[in-house]
Copies of this chain bind each other. A is one copy, B any other.
Amino acid sequence: MTGTAAGVLARAVALGEISEEPGRLTRRFATGALRAAGDLVGEWMAAAGMEVRRDDAGNVVGRYAGTGGDARPPFVLGSHLDTVPGAGRYDGVLGVLVSVAVVERLVTRSERLAFPLEVAAFADEEGARFGVAYLGSTAYAGLFEPAWLHLVDESGTTVTDAVRSLGDDPDALLRASQPTLSGYLEVHIEQGPVLEHEDLPVGVVTAISGRTRASIGLRGQAGHAGTLPMPWRRDALAAAAEAVLAVEEIGGREDGLVATVGMLSVEPGAANVVPGAATFSLDVRHVDDRARGRATGQMLEVISRIAATRQVELDWEVLHETPAVAMAPWLRERLAEAIGAEGLRATSLVSGAGHDAVVLARVCDAAMLFVRCAGGISHDPRESVDEADVAVAIDVVERFLLGEGLARPSLETR
């Protein structure tokens, strides 16, 4: 079963049983469940002939030496083992297991690459426990920020205490230096419907979208639903409704742009009271940061006008802005070649979700291979991938690693 898609899926099932809670899959940073999952993956890595290490963030890394010893920096394959609460089995896990399977294939044929290969199973990508994403990959990449040690989870436990509870040293997360890497490739389920729509098993990610997150408050005047005449109302929910439709309309103006209002709350929130206040979330993404900025600016402009017309106060708070991250063109080309060599059309697509590749792209060239997932569903127990698609992913990554271009000349001249 080693090195096969069936083996990958069997291991995903096994990892899916390792959870913080019974009955559903939840495996967050610095928990016993994550530790156990990392240990199991480490065993598979070791069994495949890799040298395994575990850092104090809980990242488990297997190293497969190349023919050139340590003369060349390692190329890294990886993804994450942590999950959201109530997760599916494949988000993150698939990329780790496909990477292990590729090494198993190389080992089976006693084939070594010209450079060391590392398979990284990162300990935190979702940020589900402490609200900040990438606590695992930033530690690996020497980018962990000191303030993050003081983040607290919902029970008041700090990152420091959580790391210590597993016998690890929180200060070691800060001491890690930026590694020298020759590149990074992450295999991940698409978490969207594009590959299914195009009837393709895999696709090459061009870039990871930049994202603006904002919280928008509208304050009007509450009133009695039975006694306040319509023309005198300053209904905050009606204003928010106009704003939601403006977000949708502007979000549809440009190809590749997505804009979402996912949360909305009303105050006081009683059937017989005209809403006095409404608050909603805004999430805008695009691979072109200027396009995202343009769209967000248009939304602010239109919603300001709505608020003024309705005599409602507007509070526009940008919570978070992350720029788009381009995947390295030369790695995308090698991936496309590998896909072509499998007799498949190499389609390109954008990642609307964040991934560990965002972090790794800060220290080396990075690329991502998306694998089709059923219905584009993720963060849900219904997450599902086809065995045949997984087999294609293993083949493509293997070809990618063995291809001429990866080892030379690009790698040495970048």
Contact = CB atoms under 8 A, between A and B. Distances in A.
Interface of A: 190-194, 209, 211, 213, 223-232, 235, 237-238, 240-242, 244-245, 248, 251-252, 257-266, 269-275, 281, 283, 285, 351-354, 376, 378-379
B352 A227 contact: yes
B266 A263 contact: yes
A193 B233 CA distance: 11
**Copies per complex of this chain:** 2
Q: Residue among A224, A228, A258, A263 with the most chain B CB within 10 A?
A: A224
A252 to B, nearest CB: 4
Given A228-B193, A353-B227, A275 B248 contact: no
A273 to B, nearest CB: 5
Given A191-B226, A226-B283, A264-B264, 19 more contacts: A192-B227, A192-B228, A193-B228, A194-B229, A211-B226, A213-B271, A226-B258, A226-B285, A226-B351, A226-B352, A226-B353, A228-B376, A237-B264, A241-B245, A260-B274, A262-B270, A263-B269, A271-B281, A272-B283
Contact of A226 (B209, B232, B264, B274): B209
Contacts of A235: 248, 260
A241 to B, nearest CB: 4
Nearest to A257: B230
A297 B172 CA distance: 67
Contacts of A271: 213, 260, 262-263, 281, 283
Contacts of A225: 258, 260, 262, 283, 285, 352
A224 B191 contact: yes
A321 to B, nearest CB: 14
Nearest to A269: B263
A231 B258 CA distance: 10
Name which of A192, A241, A245 has the most chain B CB atoms within 10 A of its CB.
Answer: A241
Given A230-B258, A242-B245, A353 B224 contact: yes
With most chain B CB atoms within 10 A of its CB, the pick from A192, A213, A265, A378 is: A192
A274 B248 CA distance: 11
A326 B224 CA distance: 21
B244 A237 contact: yes
A240 B280 CA distance: 14
Nearest to A221: B375
3 A-B pairs with the lowest CB-CB distances in the bound complex, closest first: A226-B352, A192-B227, A225-B260
A230 B209 contact: no
Nearest to A238: B248
